[in-house]
Amino acid sequence: MTAGSQNGAGSLKGKVALVTGASRGIGRAIALELACRGAKVALNYRASQAEAESLAERIKEIGSEALLVQGDVAKKEEARQVVRKVLDHFGRLDILVNNAGITRDKSLRKMADDDWADVINVNLNGTYYCTSAALPAMIDQKYGRIINISSVVGQSGNFGQANYAASKGGIASFTKTLALEMARYNITANTVAPGFTCTEMLQKIPANILEQIKAKIPLGRFAMPEDVAKAVAFLAADGDYITGQQLAVNGGIYMG
């Protein structure tokens, strides 16, 4: 966690952020980083209530405000309700981080329709639902910073991850169009594409495969959630003239 100066470069003082999937992993680190820079942060989670509560406590300890907002972003009405609750509570929404994501890894020959649909519904449709719900308020404010979490896998493809790669590639192209359409309202939209990052998601990959992946990372280690969080916070705090971009945080494993 890096404490940005409270009022100068890096500061998010006075800003309100919503981070989806904030209960653990990368989302948790992003929420903490934004709070550390002075933002009030709404923490969305689907099932991990205890983890979300402990994060809210942590954010209060560092002197910022946290709001817990349970909801499944894959369900259109719940996703819209999440955004509505943030607006009702804080009266505005400046930063939306669409981070919630899942994997259901299988080669295409073995992939069931539900494996495909579940991943597209959470990762891609959830991003669309939360974004479209947030836009009216951001347009009224003439201010918004939307940061969508894609993946190196959306850039390169990956064996056993056709559903996930499609969802993340979709997020990247969705974000470019969003950036084009929203620029006139001072709303920027960018994608952060993490490489392989130490979270529960990574733990689902067999150890021998992880070793093979690690050997290919030029910086010689997996990302920590905080590496990704710093990139998100940079775009949120200091990315005023950056829009439609995909910022890779991947240790050099893919240079697109």
Catalytically active residues, by annotation: 164
If the CB atoms of residues 10 and 194 are measured against ligand NAP, the closer one turns out to be 194
Q: Is the CB of 53 or the CB of 139 nearer to ligand NAP?
A: 53
Which residue bears the tokens 């990574």? 202
Range in contact with ligand NAP (rule: CB under 6 A) among 11-19, 32-40, 86-94, 197-205? 197-205
- Residue 154: both structure tokens together: 């959306």
Residues sharing a CB contact under 8 Å with residue 190, sequence separation 6 or more, in sequence order: 146, 147, 148, 175, 179, 235, 239, 242, 243, 244, 245, 246, 247
Q: Is 24 in the site for ligand NAP (CB under 6 A)?
A: yes
Residue 93 φ then ψ, to 5°? -145, 115
User: What's the closest the beta carbon of residue 253 comes to ligand NAP, in angstroms?
Assistant: 11
DSSP of 140-158: HHT-EEEEEE--HHHHH--
Q: Which amino acid is at 239?
A: G
Residue 18 binds ligand NAP, judged by CB under 6 A: no
CB 188 within 8 A of CB 236: no
Q: Supply the minimum distance, in Å, between the C-beta of residue 50 and ligand NAP.
A: 10
Query: Is residue 150 within 8 Å of 246, Cβ to Cβ?
Result: yes
**Closest separation between CB of residue 180 and ligand NAP, Å?**
23
Q: Is 201 in the site for ligand NAP (CB under 6 A)?
A: yes
Question: Which tokens go with 95?
Answer: 């930063």
Residues listed for the chain: 256
- Residue from the set 61, 88, 113, 200 that interacts with ligand NAP by CB under 6 A: 200
Binding mask 92-121 for ligand NAP (x = CB under 6 A): -------xxxx-------------------
* Among positions 87, 202, 217, 242, the unique one binding ligand NAP when judged by CB under 6 A: 202
Instruction: Give the residue with the Cβ less far from ligand NAP, 120 or 202.
Output: 202
224 touching ligand NAP, by CB under 6 A: no
The dihedral built from the CA positions of residue 138, 1, 246 and 128, taken in this order, carries a sign that is negative
Strands (E), 9-116: 16-19, 40-45, 66-70, 95-98
25 touches ligand NAP (CB under 6 A): yes
Q: Is 10 near ligand NAP (CB under 6 A)?
A: no
CA dihedral 29, 128, 41, 86 (to 10 degrees): -160
Residues 28-87 that bind ligand NAP (CB under 6 A): 44-48, 72-74
If we measure between CA atoms, which residue out of 174, 167, 166 comes closest to residue 147? 174
Q: Give contact residues for ligand NAP (rule: CB under 6 A).
A: 20-21, 23-27, 44-48, 72-74, 99-102, 122, 126, 149, 151, 194, 196-197, 199-202
